[in-house]
Amino acid sequence: MKRDVLIRLLAVTAAALVFTRTAAADDAPRAEPPPKAAAAAAAAPQPAAPPPSAPAPPPAPAAPSGERSAERVPAAVPEQPAEARGAAATRKTLKQLGDLLDRDWKSRPEWAEMAIAILKEQNMGMGTGWWHPSSKRYDWDWLRKRLDTNGDGRVEPAEMAATAPGSESLFARLDTDRDGVLTASDFGDSGRGGSPIARMVSMLFAKLDKDSNGRVSTDELADFFVAADRGGFGYLTPEDLRMALEEPAPRPGEARADMPAPEQMLEMLFTGQLGALEPGPQLGDQAPDFTLRTHDGAREVRLSELRGKPVVLVFGSFT
């Protein structure tokens, strides 16, 4: 399986290299019908991306500014360092590669999904791109077929109680939008955790929970208040709250903090720093057995010995 991953990686890398070489030649003519001279310049392997109105091939007059004459940038075009143009061309190439892989590689493993998301520079965020969705045995349809006995498209508490006695306490936990009946809107991304307000709440919570232990204490609440009350007035206005919660916008031209460039991200992906490259068991598969010790060494747990009771596994680390 590791070997398979490596082979695919090689294929992707090779493709990336080929594209990087040819990108510059491809890009300029597509932007606008080029004058003959620009087409000639574009056909040359260097420079990476000629400006749209690039003059004839060398020798051209140096820019009057006197900076880096080797670049042959006409005075009218703003100065752009060669490496920036090279990086922009690489980005564009990687995006093209991402688009192509996305289009032509339909049945792909999760690591490829991550690679493509990186290539396409998709936003990493709740519910957008990048992360493969979960797979679950039960959904709204499953529930409706079993519990919607009168077939009206919703499950009322009485229906659930009649079909599954003893389940009363579970009803409220399933009714995520708290309208007193179970419908499709209680499930999937429209349910708990998926609504805009839920996303805002998780953002607010993350801001409040300074030590990230999943619990907000009175002290943390007080610290947040003091920090948000910039004037020290002893109260908060909506504007104070907004300023305290909203991340500052990245400076123009700067990447998001903590977010490496796509090339670095790819390297991190294939060195296993972004996520395991292995697929893991699929829905309905027998869960791979393992024996591990608890952190305090007190006992050893063997998964297969836990049969007879459902088991939740929570994979994660400190950071």
Partner 1 sequence: MYSRYSDRAGFYGVYIREAHPSDGWSMESNERAGIRIEQPKAAEDRVRVASQCCTALEMAMPLLVDGIDDRVGNAYSGFPDRLYLIDRDGRVAYKGGRGPFGYKPAELEQTIIMLLLEDMLHTREAQPE
For Cα atoms 185, 189, 195, give the angle at the middle one, nearest 5 degrees.
Answer: 85
Residues 6+ apart with CB under 8 A from 213: none
Per-residue contact track with partner 1, 171 to 210, x per CB under 8 A? --xx-x----------x---xxx------------x---x
Asked if 4 interacts with partner 1 (CB under 8 A), we say no
Compare residues 106 and 295 and give the one whose CB is closer to partner 1: 295
Count the neighbouring beta carbons within 10 Å of the beta carbon of residue 102.
17
Compare residues 23 and 115 and give the one whose CB is closer to partner 1: 115
Asked if 212 interacts with partner 1 (CB under 8 A), we say yes
- In the set 21, 136, 230, 242, which binds partner 1 (CB under 8 A)? 136
Compare residues 76 and 292 and give the one whose CB is closer to partner 1: 292
Compare residues 67 and 168 and give the one whose CB is closer to partner 1: 168
Query: Which amino acid is present at 30?
Result: R
Asked if 211 interacts with partner 1 (CB under 8 A), we say yes
Strand, coil or helix: what is 85?
helix
Per-residue contact track with partner 1, 77 to 116, x per CB under 8 A? ---------------------------------x------
- In the set 17, 31, 56, 126, which binds partner 1 (CB under 8 A)? 126
Asked if 250 interacts with partner 1 (CB under 8 A), we say no
* Helical segments of 175-285, H only: 196-208, 218-228, 238-245, 262-270
Asked if 309 interacts with partner 1 (CB under 8 A), we say yes
Compare residues 143 and 204 and give the one whose CB is closer to partner 1: 143
Least gap, CB of 114 to partner 1 (angstroms): 8
- In the set 127, 153, 180, 250, which binds partner 1 (CB under 8 A)? 127
Output phi, psi for 10, to 5 deg.
Answer: -60, -45
Least gap, CB of 208 to partner 1 (angstroms): 12
First-to-last alpha carbon distance for the chain, in angstroms, is 28
Give the span between the Cα atoms of 234 and 103, in whole angstroms.
Answer: 56
Compare residues 68 and 302 and give the one whose CB is closer to partner 1: 302
Asked if 251 interacts with partner 1 (CB under 8 A), we say no
Asked if 304 interacts with partner 1 (CB under 8 A), we say yes
Give the span between the Cα atoms of 139 and 141, in whole angstroms.
Answer: 5
Residues 6+ apart with CB under 8 A from 198: 192
C-alpha closest to that of 184 among 152, 145, 150, 153: 153
Asked if 280 interacts with partner 1 (CB under 8 A), we say yes
Q: For residues 74 and 50, is the Cβ–Cβ distance under 8 A? A: no
